[in-house]
Structure 1
Amino acid sequence: MFNDPISPKASATRPLRFGIVLLPNFTLTAFSGFVDVLRLASDESDMSRHVRCSWTIVGESLVPVRASCGIQVTPWTTFDEAGSFDYVVVVGGLLHSGPPASKATIQFIHDAAATSATLVGICTGVFALMRAEVMDGYRMCVSWFHYWDFVERFPGVDERNLVADRLFVIDRRRITCSGGRASIDVAAAILLRHFEATIVQKALRIMLVDDAQKGNAPQPYPPGLEPATHPKVRRAILLMEQHIGQPLCMAELARRLEMSVRQIERLFTVQTGKSPQAYARQIRIRMASWLLTSSDRTVADIASSCGFSDASHLGREFRKEFGESPNAYRVARPPSQTHAFADA
């Protein structure tokens, strides 16, 4: 089923072989980003032949696997019939919806670890690697968003081995990735172990990616929020972002979090150094600043979309934050320099 060790700069006599396991409710971006790097690096131009790389979707059966967005992908072969692989890639997704990875899937991952194949966990694929008991002694990348989910599910894990502030981690024959766009970066990093840089760069250029991020690049999580932030605070921030136009009052926010107003205020201050109201205001100001430089919408329209009563209200809050009016901010920052929402 698996293979003998391969040396760096893969032999031209056969493709570099990837077996890809899709878990229930896998994230389509993580899967497609990874595969497209393989596809474009494998052949000349975008002909997509399995020349330098081959990739096979493997599963317990040939029953289609549903992605979190509803699209279904049918495995090409079963675990029992799969050939040899140099890399076994496990693509995860939603944790709290749908069935977990099956026993057969966990056994397949466990068996792969006993060979020379390198195991790759993308997005929440690292959860399946942990269930398969193949991560002892390895450092692993976990998305900041799922850090507490991971700790709660695997209370015996050595937290010194958890990396929740980087895009991906390569530790010997274990590679783990936070997911999303980082799947492109980790695919590029893997291929650079075997192929010339020009081959990988060609693939990235076709995908309109300027350059692959290195593993030590930071995960983009909300400003002021650490990877280990309490899950209730994470949920509160997501609710704030989802209700920017019509902000939730403190009583409603606390109700949705199943906490008292006093509890959420105390927890927020400890975790972020700000009150919930101040943090929500910062989110709304960041969104307004981004809209000012990335759209031609009026200040009044932006004010309404970001939960301010009118343009004057936005103007007062904007001056407190940036020291200038919304119009002056827009004029001073042309669209090509738009980084306000990410960096504010």
Structure 2
Amino acid sequence: MAKAKRTGVEPHEDYGFFGPGSVVWKVWGYPTSLTVGFQRAVVVEELDPPLVAAVHGTQGIYQRPRTRYDRTLRYFAMVAFAGSREVCRAADVLVKVHAKAIGQLPYSDGTYDANDPASQLWIQLTGWHSILYAYEKYGPGKLTAEEESEYWSACAVAAELQTCSPDDVPRTREGVRAYFDRMRPRLSASPIARQAMHHLLRTELVLPPTPRWAKPAGLVVAAAQRTATIATMPRWMRELAGIRQPRLLDVLIVPVMKASFALVHRHPKLELRLLGRLSPSTVSAIAPISLGIPPRNEEVLTPAEARARYGYPKPAEAHVDLRARQAARILNDGKAPSEQGLIESQEILGPLS
């Protein structure tokens, strides 16, 4: 605790669901994860028609791109690093936030619902796959077979914090590939998907305001991350979404980003300072781990143990009444959804503005 007092960083209550020595901390703790990995995840996700319908319906990425990025990144980081009580609380309120993202599909029959298990599984797997892919391409490289097995098992643990079933999470790289192969025919680069993907590749929109003299450097950083993110996307996906980038840039960006990430990772305080510029709300989730500050209780729980201890239901079973009321308001009455979940989430996931 003395180190916590010296740094002013608040320790977590416990190690959460993974802890020191875990492959999750190894991969997610590298600077590729919350930069290129995260951006790749949110860009690729938009090819799923129900998901992009929910994103387009709320308009959050357009109306408040910086705070939307900040809050989403904070949640990702909390699942990997924060204490179990805090993560359960965040997962619970996220169900409320998603309850307002429901409506009619814009380009086909049917409805979308951000809490739908299939959409949540798509988010889970694109996120964890993108984080690992960025780590392999711009970080230390491929995991061992044992580490990769642990990684996908951990992905299933994290899925318990979503409305999807952990039983549906593949436990191998081959299983993950098979999942994406099954999803590919369902993906669509609709006008709203293309709009969202191109918008989310504009890294400069989530950077904080900077003095005029610093703007050129900020634009260089944003361009480098955009280039690196596109370079992780397969050709068929880029062609589908109308994203263009020369093959030469795909090759040249790799050594630049590998060297940059390695340099930053050697200096934890610098790494946290840069993260604070990108996502201020995320720093408190990662700082104790980066600075080696132990939690108050050195234990690792399972999501089931944490829910039992703190009194939270499974996400799939949470806030059923609120979800039903939101659906009735939107689908039956044609009214705007209640903002209850968003308002409550600010204390947990960060401010909306």
TM range (shorter): under 0.3
Compute the TM-score of the two structures, normalised by the length of structure 2: 0.24
- Greater radius of gyration (CA): 1
Hey, which of these two has a bigger chunk of strand by percent? 1
Hey, which of these two has a bigger chunk of helix by percent? 2
Of structures 1 and 2, the one with the larger relative CO (CA 8 A, separation 6+) is 2
